[in-house]
Amino acid sequence: DSGVTQTPKHLITATGQRVTLRCSPRSGDLSVYWYQQSLDQGLQFLIHYYNGEERAKGNILERFSAQQFPDLHSELNLSSLELGDSALYFCASSVTSGGAVGSRETQYFGPGTRLLVL
Amino acid sequence: AQKITQTQPGMFVQEKEAVTLDCTYDTSDQSYGLFWYKQPSSGEMIFLIYQGSYDEQNATEGRYSLNFQKARKSANLVISASQLGDSAMYFCAMRERPGNQFYFGTGTSLTVIP
């Protein structure tokens, strides 16, 4: 158990709908990262928040948005869902923003939310 | 260009034998970190081992070791004394500066044969 929690574990919805995925980082971790894992794209970085502020954006679609709240939990909002959005969505956390030279700080992953869009 | 390349989609190893999973990376940064994660069929991503670009010695964590060849830009994972529970997907990842984005390879599926 990494200490990172994600809800829900599974989500089935229809095209055009909107869903919210929730992540609680490990106690003491200030950074939250979101990743999408699909069969054809592999594991793709979406977005990084540190202590409530957006730090980096990856291959995140405009239909997707995220935020990190004062209690450090984070939510990933996916709207106007398409069949291709079906994937496993991971949240990961780390203590800092991990930018220090030679930092061996790793990211600890949650169990993921498996999204199926029908 | 791919940041992380894992050329072995699938590997088989006999129980108790050692196995090497290949990973090459591409970066122009001098400071970066290399990570290996294990993903069992249950889906969670488990951190295994880390190697920093300035580390002079190869990283080791129990049965896992990292064969780091900086000039060749390779960071191969070596699993010694394979166990049935080692059957999983293995991902190589890199973090480079600036920013903190992790780049992942496409993974290698390892099957340990009894």
Task: Find residue A82's DSSP bridge partners.
Answer: none
Is the CB of residue A96 less than 8 Å from the CB of residue A105?
A: yes
Is the CB of residue B82 less than 8 Å from the CB of residue B13?
A: yes
Neighboring chain B residues of A94 at a CB cutoff of 8 Å: 100
Where is average pLDDT lowest: A16-20, A107-111, B5-9, B109-113?
A: A107-111
Chosen from B102, B104, B106, B109 to mutate, greatest number of chain A CBs within 10 A: B102
Neighboring chain A residues of B44 at a CB cutoff of 8 Å: 2, 109-112
Provide the strand spans (E) within chain B.
Answer: 4-5, 10-14, 19-21, 24-25, 32-39, 46-52, 60-61, 64-69, 74-79, 88-96, 102-104, 108-113
**Which amino acid is it at A49?**
Y
Task: Give how far B86 is from chain A: nearest CA, Å.
Answer: 17
Chosen from A36, A47, A101 to mutate, greatest number of chain B CBs within 10 A: A101
- Over residues A82-106, the pLDDT tens digits come to 999 999 999 999 887 655 544 567 7
Q: Provide the pLDDT for residue A101.
A: 47
Task: Find residue A49's DSSP bridge partners.
Answer: A32, A54
Q: Provide the pLDDT for residue B88.
A: 97
Sign, CA dihedral A34-A114-A105-B49, equals negative
Contact B99 A104 (CB under 8 A): no
Averaged pLDDT score across all residues of chain B: 92
b/e code B42-78 from CB counts within 10 Å (16+ = b): eebbebbbbbbbebeeebeeeebbbbbeeeeebbbbb
Averaged pLDDT score across all residues of chain A: 90
Contact A111 B44 (CB under 8 A): yes
- Over residues B45-82, the pLDDT tens digits come to 999 999 988 888 999 999 999 999 999 999 999 999 99
Choose the closest CB to A98 out of B44, B95, B103: B95
d(CA A15, CA B38): 32
- Over residues A19-64, the pLDDT tens digits come to 999 999 999 899 999 999 987 778 898 999 999 999 888 889 999 9
Contact A31 B100 (CB under 8 A): yes
